[in-house]
Structure 1
Amino acid sequence: MTTLICNCNRTMPLDGEALSRMLGEPLTVHTTLCRREAPAFQRATRSREELVVACTQEQRLFAELSEQTEGAVALDERPIRFVNLRETGGWGREGKQATAKMAALLAAARLPEPDPVPTVTYRSAGRLLVIGPLDRAQALAAQVDDVLDVTLFATGGAGAQERRYPVLAGDLRQIRGWLGAFQVEWTARNPIALDLCTRCNACVAACPEGAIGLDYQIDLGVCRHHRDCVRVCEAPGAIDFQREPVTHEDTFDLVLDLRDQPALTCHALPQGYLHLPAAASADAHMAAIAKLRDAVGEFEKPRFFQYQAQICAHGRNEKVGCNACVDICSASAISSQVERRQIHVNPHLCVGCGACTTVCPTGALSYAYPSAAHQGQRLRTLLSTYARAGGQHAALLLHSQQAGQRIVNDWGRAAQLDASVRGVPARVIPMACWHTASLGLDVWLSAVAYGASQVFVLVTDEEAPDYVRALQEQMAVGEALLQGLGYGGEHFRLIQVRDARDIGHLDQAVRVAPAATVSQPATFAVQASKRSTLDLALEHLMKHAPASPLPPAIPLPAAGAPWGSVHVNPEACTLCLSCVGACPAGALQDNPAAPQLRFVEKNCVQCGLCVKTCPENAIGLEPRLWLSPQRREPRVINEQPAYACIRCGKPFGTLKAVEAMLGRLSGHAMFQGAALERLKMCSDCRVIDIFTGNEVKITDL
């Protein structure tokens, strides 16, 4: 491994000797690695050793320099890893105290890349539909028609006389799909057929009400049916007021929607759908054009999720329990299939935010790229290296790789130029994620178990409002748990920042007193199973908890609680065991040897399926964390005496269930006399009695 560090023209303090000791590698502190000392980088590129460069500003320059260096290893054979030490602390007021953090960031940069996962493929031939006023749609089309096959869907406006593009019009009914596979449905109701219209403008001139615009559509609310337009259009025959409405459907690879109110309103729009209202800025306009021009060909993205239907708490017996993933998905990629006892995730619509995996109580949905194990390894490397280097009270700052990274960079630059901004504190370790919503309570608690004092989550306008709500709910659960174990202070904080104008708010928000953490950092690895990771983190946090003695149980907020108890009303419950069949986590169990309902509290995810399934409304939930070791063991929460068959004496049900059945059916004409007595028999004796016709002999019970 070769690591190159640079103090950026001596603008930040780098302790090369200390970093060398911490990383076990001799390091040279360069001053202008991207300029005068570039030969040092070129020499490193000729080696097959893995290469880490502590500079992200000149990432493109270094990549080009590597390609131009004779004898350099190709980037596809040995990629270069870049890490930011400058904006993440080197330019802050505490830059001289940030050596331990810098060592942690360099150590994390050395980790291997995430394991590859299956990909999702998009294929676009460049067929573009532009929806909006005809004049604006034509102007936009002219900027991309050299690479895209453009069709216009007119919603008014005045088009040019020249027929350059096919034009559609009508009532737009539905747009669904994604890049390369958009299905557009509309109903043509207008008397003018655009495919026949020659745009001679004779109808426009002839209409006494001015009901025909240069989009060549008739405003039927203004038209008074003089039919002058029909007479002047006799030769082309494009106008027919008797034409029946016709619904059409066509496919497009891309959709550009110029209307103020878009057809798709989800927070995360599908790949290939762009919304560019009239009020959009020039930068947004240019960005949209660039995206459209680049959207021809074959594209791949990771399949970000994994789904295990067998442990999904969404539905059982056509009852919906947990709906968390469906409700939170900002891309409308998750739909209910309760008849199949599961949900469905459309991988082409999924944008990889991971919010569904964060709110999933069972771990049925898990984040696949990067995997939980990879994220856990990064966490443990950052925190363990920081601690070994002498760092104290580590605070993890989770942010997205896109907008969040830009905010952190702006923060670091502001600290260099603005005396009122202190910059990233020495104890705050930034960690970039694909999306901040992809990491939740299991990872946060693992971070505290690894020795972190706090976890800050930086959210920007990238995050949908529902993401923010879900993260706040998870933080409330985590804080209640840690406070109950005696870990004082504020451990979790959500920091909302829109853009660089909120840097001052971010600068103040992270300056909070360190919270209590474990006396001995954990060594467990984050597991693929979310529940397993939570169990490992809890065991370590309980073992080192400051509270003595520990409370019997810790109450948790109902929203987002992943643990809890189930209470059964014994007066109402008939032990029908419908709840056992509905429970996706195996928390509710029967006892084959006795009429009992048993409960394993560790397994309960508080999904509520048992509550919705119970025909007697006898079940209630209590969100809590029970700290007794017995939470792992089945305990009886209801039991009843058995009802014995009146013919053979074999128990075949519970006394309450059979008595309830007899009470309901005793007045029915079908269950009188011997038929009613047969209800008191087991299934075998009932069949025998029917076929033998013998009188029922009631045995002593």
Structure 2
Amino acid sequence: MKTLICDCNRTMPLDGPALNRALANSPNASSDGLATVHSVLCRREAPAFQRAAKETAASGEPLLVACTQEQRLFLELNAQTEGTARVGIEERPIRFFNIRETGGWSRDARNATPKIAALIAAAQLPDPEPVPTVSYRSAGRCLVIGSAEAAERAGAMLADRLDVTLLVDGGALSQQRERVVQAARLTKLTGWLGAFQAEWETSNPIDLDLCTRCNACIDACPEGAIDFSYQVDLAACRSHRDCVRVCEAAGAIDFGRAPQTAGDRFDLVLDLRTEPAFTMHQKPQGYFHVGHDDRALASAVLELRDSVGEFEKPRFFRYQPKLCAHSRNEQIGCSACIYVCSARAIRSDASQKGKTQGRGPRPAGVAAMPVAASGGGIVVEPHLCVGCGACSTVCPSGALTFAYPGPVDQGKRLRTLLATYAQAGGRDAALLLHSEGAGARLIGDLGRAARVDKSMRGVPARVLPVALWHTASVGLDLWLAALAQGASQVWILLTDEEAPEYREALAAQIAVAQAIASGLGYRGEHFRLIEARDARDLSALDAALSAAPAQGVARAASFAAQADKRVTLDLAIDHLLAQAPTAVGAIEEIALPAAGAPFGSLVIDTQRCTMCLSCVGACPESALADNPERPQLRFIEKNCVQCGLCASTCPEDAIQLQPRLLLADGGRARKANRVLHEMEPYRCVRCGSPFGTLRAIENMRVKLAGHSAFQGAAAERLKMCGDCRVIDIHSHANEVRITDIKP
């Protein structure tokens, strides 16, 4: 594709020939992928942009422009130029990316040619395949919640575009009845854009639907218990009931009225109260909580006025129930995705209503949660999902996958960056993963600050910024793959956008990744969270990006990231082990942190285990298996995701998880089928054939010894195999019938 780059009036030392040599050798090189360097593309050289826009429109290829500052100007020029492609919501004939603040304006910009070549090569990659969408439909029914004065004021701003209902709890109402008003207390609010369900409760004697706001009750009340809220202050009322008498015609006042519960469906909600109706970090789309902030109110009103019609967003996730390790046989295992979801879009769908979640991984301080009543696994509500991708990051099995873009496309992008950077002569690449919103703005602020403040370095030449829809959407599999493919470090930039749940989850995953890298002998800090909330943290961000490089692999891997998370992890670990500074065989295993570890073994208490093999039936990943020939519990460590289902299922409490990465025998041991526990079989006292185990049969006999149904011959049958037990029962029944015959 045609690529235009600009040195921004010669403020960036761009080496055009060197860039094109690097691009020609990039993994996805094409004959038309070379870049044309300009100096004032947005001004005097604008005709070059127009010619390129016409040429690419004729060929059907996108036009790539390395400038984000003048994006609006270029789009206007494109619209005004005859023969160019139209820019729509779905079509992107012109793409923009940033090389100025991300490297061209850094202190070591003269050494940034490999990085800029890598950024161009990544930008030249084709767009990922589109994903399914989630639809919303809003007819403009808006509920405004708050005090009467604030709600009336907000309602007036919206009434010409929306059908407004006010839910007020105190305050003076307007004398003129202009819209529906409910004086009540909100008791429940659920849903999302186009599908909110609100419930409220009122216990006041005055019914606002019947009230004419004639003010007769206010004049008649001797205690002043009624004001312009047209509600009775029951604490001040002394039961004179003069108000009832003067309201006799309207009949709006009834002190005998029972508390009323009502509700309705709304498309949009504007919440003016101090405390929001939804407590999660990511509120549902269509819900706006502004409190008493006038600036936030103005912004919300603008969005609300445009929130009528049909809307779509990407379906950000893919879910494979067969891989899910959340529940089996009414037992709870891994609940990591439920705990990390800041939008509460994920809920348990295990059976046994009211049962609390068991031994599955749970962050410290988080209480056990009740599970739902039917089915199995989890349910993800796509209308609530905000696309953070944290669920896919913490999912140990790969049952949940981020789809916007998926791991294959995202992995290809990271591999292109690293390979192009290395082939252009770059060393010690550090990937800086950041959000497309606040993260990109912070990096832009840092680049601009370094342009004028010589004490700041800016984004170093070895740091490759990678914009993501959300920083939590890329996790352990792609981090380790990047390390195997030549990255020295992987850093994640966190801003105010990230929920506390994301920070905890990412920190846990980074601890696992660093434990693996350090355990293999790679020196330095390879994975790190960098926190910078706003422009006030630019100096700290500048210092963090200047950290020393860590030891990477001697030879970069060439594998591509796979759709299956576990496959990518295996490929990355195998390469890191093969390239490890520590000799293969010197390390038997690497202990991993308990929180977030996707690998590990099991420790079996052989004194407790009866070889009932309940754990085998509970294992969702086929890590546990039996042996049809003899009582054995077998285990393939590579398959274990440390979900804990085996431990929660075990009736004898004989299983403990052991988070680790087994490296024995060059990593082959973790892929082998090994025996965790075995017993001598118990042999039938009638035919001698093996069935069950000695401990299991003896435990059963002890537990049933006092039961009236297992006495005498019935107790002896417990020592028999299934076939002999049936034969013995029939033989005993025939004997009883013969002795019952009278001569």
Alignment TM-score, normalising by the size of structure 1 = 0.97
Q: Please tell me whether residue 518 in structure 1 is matched to residue 553 in structure 2.
A: yes
User: Deviation at 1:675?
Assistant: 0.6
Q: Please tell me whether residue 442 in structure 1 is matched to residue 477 in structure 2.
A: yes
Structure 2 counterparts to residues 495-644 of structure 1, below 5 A: 495-549=530-584, 550-628=586-664, 629-644=668-683
Matched with 1:71 is 83
Over the matched positions of the two proteins, sequence identity in percent amounts to 63
User: Deviation at 1:74?
Assistant: 2.7
Deviation sequence 1:565-609 (CA, Å, 0-9, x none) = 101111110000111111111111111111100111111111111
Matched with 1:189 is 203
User: Deviation at 1:26?
Assistant: 4.8
User: Deviation at 1:204?
Assistant: 2.1
CA distance in 2, matches of 1:363, 1:431: 23
Matched with 2:65 is 53
Residue in structure 1 matching 2:253, options 218, 224, 239: 239
- Whether the 8 Å CA contact 1:568–1:618 is kept in 2: the answer is yes
Deviation sequence 1:31-67 (CA, Å, 0-9, x none) = 2111221110110111223310000111122122112
Q: Please tell me whether residue 379 in structure 1 is matched to residue 406 in structure 2.
A: no
Q: Please tell me whether residue 14 in structure 1 is matched to residue 14 in structure 2.
A: yes
Deviation sequence 1:75-107 (CA, Å, 0-9, x none) = 356621111001101111111111111111111
SS for the counterpart of 2:85 is: coil
Matched with 1:80 is 94
User: Deviation at 1:210?
Assistant: 2.6
C-alpha root-mean-square deviation of aligned residues, in Å? 1.4
Q: Comparing 538-547 with 496-505, which one deviates more in the overlay?
A: 496-505
User: Deviation at 1:229?
Assistant: 1.6
Amino acid at match of 1:263: A
Residue in structure 2 matching 1:658, options 691, 694, 697: 697
Matched with 1:699 is none
CA distance in 2, matches of 1:78, 1:467: 31
CA distance in 2, matches of 1:365, 1:554: 26
- Whether the 8 Å CA contact 2:2–2:34 is kept in 1: the answer is no
CA distance in 1, matches of 2:67, 2:298: 29
- Whether the 8 Å CA contact 2:337–2:390 is kept in 1: the answer is yes
Structure 2 counterparts to residues 202-241 of structure 1, below 5 A: 202-241=216-255
User: Deviation at 1:308?
Assistant: 1.2
CA distance in 2, matches of 1:694, 1:375: 70
- Whether the 8 Å CA contact 1:132–1:153 is kept in 2: the answer is yes
Q: Comparing 679-688 with 564-573, which one deviates more in the overlay?
A: 679-688
SS for the counterpart of 2:158 is: coil
Matched with 1:38 is 46
CA distance in 2, matches of 1:412, 1:281: 32
CA distance in 2, matches of 1:348, 1:37: 46
- Whether the 8 Å CA contact 1:188–1:247 is kept in 2: the answer is yes
Residue in structure 2 matching 1:392, options 424, 427, 432: 427
Residue in structure 2 matching 1:669, options 672, 691, 708: 708
- Whether the 8 Å CA contact 2:507–2:529 is kept in 1: the answer is yes
SS for the counterpart of 1:203 is: helix
User: Deviation at 1:666?
Assistant: 1.9
Matched with 1:428 is 463
Over 3 Å counting, the alpha-carbon distance change for 1:78 and 1:172 in structure 2 is: closer
Amino acid at match of 2:709: M
Deviation sequence 1:125-162 (CA, Å, 0-9, x none) = 11110000111111111112111111111121222211
User: Deviation at 1:511?
Assistant: 1.3
Matched with 1:331 is 343
CA distance in 2, matches of 1:603, 1:156: 60
- Whether the 8 Å CA contact 2:12–2:100 is kept in 1: the answer is yes
CA distance in 2, matches of 1:547, 1:170: 69
Matched with 1:322 is 334
SS for the counterpart of 1:28 is: strand
Matched with 1:647 is 686
CA distance in 1, matches of 2:455, 2:153: 46
Matched with 2:728 is 689
CA distance in 2, matches of 1:448, 1:214: 68
- Whether the 8 Å CA contact 1:154–1:215 is kept in 2: the answer is no
- Number of residue pairs aligned between Structure 1 and Structure 2: 694
Amino acid at match of 2:135: T
User: Deviation at 1:178?
Assistant: 0.2
User: Deviation at 1:490?
Assistant: 0.5
Q: Please tell me whether residue 178 in structure 1 is matched to residue 178 in structure 2.
A: no
- Whether the 8 Å CA contact 1:184–1:249 is kept in 2: the answer is yes
CA distance in 1, matches of 2:486, 2:451: 30
Deviation sequence 1:265-290 (CA, Å, 0-9, x none) = 11000000000111x252x2322111
CA distance in 2, matches of 1:682, 1:204: 88
CA distance in 2, matches of 1:302, 1:638: 48
SS for the counterpart of 1:532 is: helix
- Whether the 8 Å CA contact 2:169–2:185 is kept in 1: the answer is no
Over 3 Å counting, the alpha-carbon distance change for 1:6 and 1:467 in structure 2 is: same
Matched with 1:105 is 119
Q: Comparing 449-458 with 332-341, which one deviates more in the overlay?
A: 332-341
Structure 2 residues without counterparts, runs of 5 or longer: 25-32, 352-374, 736-743
CA distance in 1, matches of 2:632, 2:734: 33
SS for the counterpart of 1:479 is: helix
- Whether the 8 Å CA contact 1:171–1:189 is kept in 2: the answer is no
Structure 1 residues without counterparts, runs of 5 or longer: 697-701
- Whether the 8 Å CA contact 1:575–1:657 is kept in 2: the answer is yes
Matched with 2:371 is none
CA distance in 1, matches of 2:313, 2:34: 38
SS for the counterpart of 1:576 is: coil
Alignment TM-score, normalising by the size of structure 2 = 0.92
CA distance in 2, matches of 1:626, 1:387: 31
User: Deviation at 1:208?
Assistant: 2.7
Deviation sequence 1:158-200 (CA, Å, 0-9, x none) = 2221111100121211000000000001112111111111111
CA distance in 1, matches of 2:191, 2:432: 36
- Whether the 8 Å CA contact 1:641–1:654 is kept in 2: the answer is yes
